[in-house]
């Protein structure tokens, strides 16, 4: 659905894999010089340092969406992130008002490696969401439920949400998005990340027993009773991030014991048991800001993806920064975007034989945009 028909690529991927990082860096830089402002390389904060070094702009999911939405001069975006982010960039950069300003010319969005997906986004397929919605309709009035999807979801889910009066959120505006939803309806259905949904709802004072988790593999009603669903305020989808669920309460206890005065800073995708013990939390963008704003000597244990924590450690030697786990928690799919894939996709782009174009179909893009525009308005 989201892969465009493309001519045969001028360059094959394999030879790039044996080039040195210096050679690859130089080749990517040459394409950047040649294409100038027509090309925008966007990088999510979880990308490897060598990729971030070549990005024109980097940010969290919300900031990257804004950058794609604002893109004025660019005609091509190389998205160094994961699939749902590139889909979002395609929808926002090619929305009708932007197309009209460019006389119909589309921004081509490429994802250097199509295998860069998100395991959390894969935990909610559109047929499962539609099935859940139909089942819910048997026990509650779905007119009184606003669907809210975390941006970490396929465009088809965003379109579902757009069609049903809902909104997309990111980790930086989840609370505002839930408030938006509760101003409209009594209940919310939140997918696919149960932890972001639960942590945010708890912060808003919603009790745990009013937020059942819908298990798409349960036989009936997502594993809840009709009464539980009727008493619910938020119906959570039973999805999670395999990276962030590796952080455990015992890691927090260990750091507090070994480093008195340490501050625990986590991403809201962490499980509730960890989130509740943290001193501060926020999106990747907010995590960076919190560290930047802290005085020298501040001690942190940070619970988010390894590459970002290691970068913060290198950039802030005046602070003491630890990774909040003794085991490696890295996003293996983000890591698929490397210099060989970036050089390969950019040289093909410059040669007029683009590879890995992300092209969301018109109908899906139209409805996704409805929900994404609400997300951009709610901060
Ligand atoms: P941010 O919105 O904080 O960038 O998070 C994206 C993500 O995938 C975190 O796992
Ligand atoms: Fe998906 Fe988790 Fe990777 Fe973020 S860190 S892209 S939620 S798998």
Closest CA to 123 of 241, 41, 281, 18: 241
Report if residue 168 sits inside a domain: yes
* Cβ contact 354:107 at 8 Å: no
Q: Say if residue 55 is in the same domain as residue 146.
A: no
- Report which bound ligand comes closest to the CA of 333: 2
Task: Judge whether residue 4 has pLDDT over 70.
Answer: no
Residue 328's pLDDT band, with cuts at 50, 70 and 90, is confident
Same domain, 217 and 269: no
Tell me whether residue 173 is in a domain: yes
- Identify the CATH number of the domain in which residue 163 sits: 3.40.50.10800
Ligand lying nearest the CA atom of residue 329: 2
**Residue where a domain terminates, one of 242, 270, 291:** 242
Ligand 1, atom 8, residue with closest C-alpha: 152
118: nearest Cα among 284, 4, 240, 272: 240
Rounded Cα–Cα distance for residues 306 and 322 (Å): 10
Ligand 2 neighbourhood includes 241 CB (under 6 angstroms): yes
Ligand 2 and 93: CB distance under 6 A: no
Same domain for 208 and 128 = yes
CA distance readout (Å), 354 to 270, 330, 362 = 37, 29, 20
Quick check: CB of 120 below 6 Å from ligand 2?
Answer: yes
In a domain, 377, yes or no: no
Q: The pTM is what? A: 0.96
Best of 65, 79, 152 to mutate for ligand 1, by most ligand atoms within 8 A of CB?
A: 152
Residue with CA at minimum distance from ligand 1 atom 6: 61
Name the percent of the chain lying above pLDDT 70: 99
Residue 370 within a domain: no
Task: Identify whether 5 is part of a domain.
Answer: no
If asked whether residues 101 and 167 sit together in one domain, one would say no
Is there a single domain that holds both residue 141 and residue 205?
Answer: yes
Q: With respect to residue 374, please indicate whether it lies within any of the assigned structural domains.
A: no
For residue 192, say if its preceding peptide bond is cis, omega within 30 degrees of 0.
Answer: yes
- Residue 113 sits in the same domain as residue 136: no
Task: Please tell me the total count of domains within the chain.
Answer: 3
Considering the domain architecture, whether residues 218 and 311 belong to the same structural domain is answered as no
Q: Within this chain, do residues 214 and 161 fall inside the same structural domain, yes or no?
A: yes
Residues 74-122: tens digit of each pLDDT = 999 999 999 999 999 999 999 999 999 999 999 999 999 999 999 999 9
pLDDT above 70 (res 1): no
The answer to whether the CB of 331 is under 6 A from ligand 2 is yes
Residues 203 and 289 occupy one common structural domain: no
> Which atom, in ligand 2's list, is nearest to the CA of 46?
5
| Domain shared by 234 and 131, yes or no | yes
Ligand 1 proximal residues by C-beta, below 6 Å:
45, 60-61, 152, 170-171, 241, 267, 269, 283-284
Distance CA 228, CA 41 (A): 47
167 has pLDDT over 70: yes
Ligand number nearest CA of 283 is 1
Q: Do 234 and 281 sit in the same domain of this protein?
A: no
CA–CA distances in Å: residue 109 to residues 121, 131, 376: 19, 31, 20
Kindly state the tokens that stand for 7: 């001519």
What distance in angstroms lies between residue 138's CA and the mean position of ligand 1's atoms?
Answer: 34
Residue 156 lies in domain: 120-242
Residue 367 resides in a domain: no
Does pLDDT of 20 surpass 70?
yes
Going from the C-alpha of 106 to that of each of 98, 211, 342, the distances in angstroms are 9, 42, 21
Is residue 364 in a domain? no
Supply 197's token pair.
């949904």
Mean pLDDT of the 214-227 span:
98
Nearest CA to ligand 2 atom 3: 331
Instruction: Indicate if 136 and 226 belong to the same structural domain.
Output: yes
């Amino acid at each position: 659905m989201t892969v465009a028909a493309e001519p045969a690529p001028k360059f094959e991927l394999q030879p790039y894999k044996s080039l040195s990082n210096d050679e690859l860096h130089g080749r990517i830089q040459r394409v950047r010089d040649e294409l100038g402002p027509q090309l925008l390389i966007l990088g999510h904060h979880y990308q490897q340092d060598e990729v971030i070094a070549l990005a024109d702009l980097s940010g969290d999911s919300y900031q990257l969406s804004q950058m794609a939405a604002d893109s004025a001069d660019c005609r091509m975006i190389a998205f160094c992130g994961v699939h749902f982010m590139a889909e979002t960039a395609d929808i926002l950069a090619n929305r009708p008002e932007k197309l009209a300003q460019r006389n119909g010319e589309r921004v081509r969005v490429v994802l250097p490696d199509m295998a860069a997906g998100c395991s959390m986004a894969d935990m909610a397929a559109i047929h499962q969401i539609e099935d859940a919605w139909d089942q819910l309709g048997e026990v509650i009035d779905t007119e009184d439920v606003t669907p809210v999807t975390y941006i970490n979801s396929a465009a088809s889910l965003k379109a579902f949400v757009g069609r049903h009066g809902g909104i997309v959120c990111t980790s930086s505006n989840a609370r505002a998005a839930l408030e938006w939803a509760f101003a409209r309806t009594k209940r919310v259905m939140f997918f696919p990340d149960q932890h972001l949904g639960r942590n945010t709802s708890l912060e808003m004072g919603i009790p745990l027993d009013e937020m059942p988790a819908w298990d798409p593999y349960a036989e009936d009603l997502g594993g809840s009773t009709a009464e539980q669903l009727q008493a619910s305020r938020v119906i959570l989808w039973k999805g999670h991030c395999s990276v962030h669920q590796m952080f455990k309460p015992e890691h927090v206890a260990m750091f507090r014991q070994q480093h008195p005065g340490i501050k625990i800073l986590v991403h809201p995708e962490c499980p509730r048991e960890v989130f509740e013990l943290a001193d501060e939390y926020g999106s990747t963008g907010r995590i960076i800001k919190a560290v930047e704003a802290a005085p020298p000597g501040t001690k942190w244990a940070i619970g988010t993806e390894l590459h970002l924590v290691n970068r913060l450690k290198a950039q802030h030697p005046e602070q003491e920064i630890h990774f909040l786990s003794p085991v490696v928690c890295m996003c293996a799919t983000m890591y698929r975007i490397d210099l060989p894939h970036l050089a390969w996709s950019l040289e093909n782009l410059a040669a007029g034989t683009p590879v890995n174009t992300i092209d969301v179909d018109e109908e899906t893009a139209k409805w996704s945009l409805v929900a994404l525009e609400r997300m951009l308005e709610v901060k």
